[in-house]
Structure 1
Amino acid sequence: MAAGAVAGPAAHAATAGERVNFHKWTTQADFQSGTADGVTALAGDRQGIAISGTVGTYRYKDPYLHTTNTWAYSTWTSPSYTPGFGATELVSSWNAQTPAGTWLKVELNATMEDGHQTGWLDMGNWASGDGDVARTSLSPSAGVYGGVSTDTFNAAGGHTVQSYQLRATLYRLTTSTASPRLWQLGAFASAVPSRTGVSPSPLGGAEGIELAVPRYSQQIHVGQYSKYGGGGDAWCSPTSSEMITEFWGDGPTAADMSWVDPSYADPSVDYAARFTYDYAYKGTGNWPFNAAYASHYGLDAEVVQLPSVDDLETLIKAGIPVAISVAFDNGELTGSGYGTAGHLMVVVGFTASGDFIVNDPFSPSDTAVRHIYQRGQLENIWLRTYWTRSDGSTGYGSGGVAYVYTPHDMALPPVADPQNPTW
């Protein structure tokens, strides 16, 4: 998971100069606006692109699966997009399906404040399965302009992103006629001054709403399949993703999970951990890999930064649970009983007084997953970018990073600031 991400504007919880923008390409017209080299934009909303004729081959020696294969490929390159401010961070995410014998790569090319470009930076090699290629982040450097850390492009001090392009490369075995289908490609770009906290927010109308999201504990999976990021103790992200995916009636089938030890409870959590695992990062917390996992089941899945609790409440009022990325010391979040350098939990509602109702996977059992956390505490923890620990070291917060997964035909509600949209 990326640390130190930043959020965008909000009427009550903002720092001056704070900006965030999410942009995506998802319709046929969107994809026709880009440059296609061997791909076709399929008719209809959210149908996406697929290979129509490959334009080259690539021989890839997978360092994790220890296989070597020759892949045919095609590419789609987005138009240049300008978020309207100088961004210091950018996280891409994508929605796709990759049949056996196929995979895809997403890259970023950023134009900086001095007009220079970073060149194409690998934001991730991804497949829904793990038999053809290992899902990997590459964390390439952009030299003096910054670089990618797992899933996040961080601009070096004094530099900002003025515009960017995304490029998707679709691969298939030279012996195959199958194709990946990519129906959404997007990114959030953000800039915010460093902050240790935000002002408390007023209630936003979601009081008394609680969504019936399945409750899964990551902790009951401790010791299971430790090759996937150390086992359940580190599986907060896929456990949160699986809770939301199953809330929408999706997820792996019994046949999909047949490899899981039958004595293990909640095998879908083991499944989600395996198929979000980033072999380079050696963990399951890669943000876009989690979104892509949910999208494999047909969901529209986005990694965003929400400017404030207002936007979080807007989603809850629309019936949409949201996973939020947090970090805090033991004692900062009353009732949690732990501290963490990075954690995902699912906001499922708000109490009548406005406190958060959360499915926190770092709980000893499924029945213990439901927590009520104080509004001011969790709001501050989620939206800050850093804090000073008792030992004097610095801890880093996500600044409002969240997973938003919805059915493909469900319109997202409007955000608080229409001049600077989150979606």
Structure 2
Amino acid sequence: MVTSRRTVLSAAIAAAAGASALSAPSAAAVPSGGRAGVPPLVENRFWTSYGDWRRGGLDGVRAVAGPRSGVVIARPEGSTEYLDPHTGRTESWEYATWTSPVHRSAVPATEVIASWNADTPAGTWLQVELRGTYSDGVETPWFVMGRWAAGDGDIRRTSLDGQTDGRASIWTDTFSIDDASSGLRLSAYQLRLTLYRRPGAKLSPMVWRVGAMASDVPDRFTVPASAPRIARELIVPRYSQNTHIGQYPEYDNGGEAWCSPTSSQMIIEYWGRRPSADDLAWVDPAFADPQVCHAARYTFDYQYDGCGNWPFNAAYAATYRKLNAVVTRLSSLTDVERLVAAGIPVITSQSFRKEELTGAGYGTAGHLMTVIGFTADGDVIANDPASPDNPAVRRVYLRREWENIWLRTKRYNASGNVSSGTGGVCYLYWPERPTPAQRRVLAAFGVR
């Protein structure tokens, strides 16, 4: 069986669900299955432009113009002491904040997942928070969605457990309404960035993308089948997580659980980026594909105790030269076909019993793989890292089976009990200068 600590998150969300001044309207909602008249299930809103940054609340930060606009510390707003729960060290940090305008979502949401792309030089880090307004007008507190640094020498990147207001909770990287059946939804939200640096330092984090995916995907064991439309295969590097079993067990027990960083690394290299020899100097030279070990280390969430934090994987990808990355949801394999047709592979998250996915040879409570194409019959060509070696990574899975296990939100596990599914969660990575076709298809999903 493929193991993943995403299992813990899925089980927690399933248990919870079983219990009982606006920003400019530039976000796009993704319609369910692309069918006219069907209410949208997903909306993406990202702040990326110089105008976006200027319209936010700038407290000690300044907006930076240019090809990649962002925010940096200008004059610190103050200083604070931070006790890192994973190192036990207390250190002083200067900080400044940027707060987004309130965004009223076109999709009143049961779940929200934030993403960010940033540079954090040594001696800097950042925190991302979310505050929202429920459909009955009550405000949430500020919830921490992640404390993040590209490296691990200053702080340990971490999610924050135990956050709840009695109506919603943060499950690692996901804001989730505790009882979606009550009809309560998150109707609006804003994000806050806090940028930190060592006192007196001149360096600053730079954030050039922050935003969120809001969704209201209904509970469902099955989803409508989509009809095949294209046949194309992208040439993507193949890496097996299983060749790393036992390596660096401090990062989620080693390669057996590295599906997410292994998938991320395949797509980073598809776009022509990879870590340098200096970056990989810490890896045992006896290990093949050391870049997979590197990806595991630098996506590792010290609270979640795993490499499967979705926004941390996207943030890791964006540390590579001129790459952008987000976490979102898609509504069907038709959406994936459109992306693949434009040359963009899609990293997907799913869970299934062994007999539910013909040819997989395993079952999993949470697993990431990459869709790289479609056969002439419409079946899914996937780079599946849960393979015995690199040549075996390319798999062909039956379209109907694959689409259902990816898009459903409810499933029966191996014990016959009801568990959760991800409802179409995926990562999208693309270059700073996409082709016109890539730009159009991303914009169609509200990703700009």
Q: TM-score range by the shorter chain?
A: over 0.9
Give CA deviations for 1:124-182 in whole Å, capped at 9, x if unaligned.
Answer: 00000000000000034332221100000001212210000000000000031110010
- Mark the CA change 1:154 to 1:405 in structure 2 (over 3 Å): closer, same or farther: same
- Mark the CA change 1:296 to 1:193 in structure 2 (over 3 Å): closer, same or farther: same
The alignment's C-alpha RMSD in Å is 2.1
Give CA deviations for 1:360-379 in whole Å, capped at 9, x if unaligned.
Answer: 00001001100000000000
1:159-170 map, 5 Å? 159-170=184-195
Q: Does 1:113 align with 2:103?
A: no
Give CA deviations for 1:242-283 in whole Å, capped at 9, x if unaligned.
Answer: 000011111211110001000000000000000000000000
Quote the Cα distance in structure 2 between the aligned partners of 1:105 and 1:272: 21
1:1-150 map, 5 Å? 1=6, 3=10, 9-11=31-33, 17=39, 19-150=41-172
Equivalent position SS for 2:136: coil
Give CA deviations for 1:50-80 in whole Å, capped at 9, x if unaligned.
Answer: 1111011111121212322100000000000
Match of 1:156 in 2: 178
Give CA deviations for 1:365-398 in whole Å, capped at 9, x if unaligned.
Answer: 0011000000000000000001123532112211
- Mark the CA change 1:348 to 1:51 in structure 2 (over 3 Å): closer, same or farther: same
Contact 2:195/2:204, CA 8 A, preserved across alignment: yes
Quote the Cα distance in structure 1 between the aligned partners of 2:48 and 2:193: 13
Which sections of structure 1, spanning at least 5 residues, go unmatched?
A: none
TM-score relative to the length of structure 2: 0.90
Give the letter for the 2:281 counterpart: S
Q: Does 1:176 align with 2:201?
A: yes
Match of 1:367 in 2: 391
Quote the Cα distance in structure 2 between the aligned partners of 1:92 and 1:14: 28
Quote the Cα distance in structure 2 between the aligned partners of 1:409 and 1:107: 28
Which sections of structure 2, spanning at least 5 residues, go unmatched?
A: 1-5, 18-28
Q: Does 1:400 align with 2:428?
A: no
* Equivalent of residue 300 in structure 1, options 293, 304, 324: 324
Q: CA deviation at 1:17?
A: 5.0
Give the letter for the 2:364 counterpart: T
Match of 1:200 in 2: 225
Identify the range of structure 1 (220-229 vs 41-50) with the bigger mean alpha-carbon deviation. 41-50
Equivalent position SS for 2:316: helix
Identify the range of structure 1 (373-382 vs 4-13) with the bigger mean alpha-carbon deviation. 4-13
Give CA deviations for 1:34-58 in whole Å, capped at 9, x if unaligned.
Answer: 1011111111243211111101111
Equivalent position SS for 1:82: strand
Quote the Cα distance in structure 2 between the aligned partners of 1:421 and 1:54: 33
Equivalent position SS for 1:86: strand
Give the letter for the 1:29 counterpart: G
1:330-369 map, 5 Å? 330-369=354-393
Q: CA deviation at 1:15?
A: 12
Contact 1:300/1:405, CA 8 A, preserved across alignment: yes
- Mark the CA change 1:359 to 1:256 in structure 2 (over 3 Å): closer, same or farther: same
Match of 2:261 in 1: 238
Contact 2:33/2:334, CA 8 A, preserved across alignment: no
Q: CA deviation at 1:185?
A: 0.1
Give the letter for the 2:99 counterpart: T
Quote the Cα distance in structure 1 between the aligned partners of 2:39 and 2:190: 24
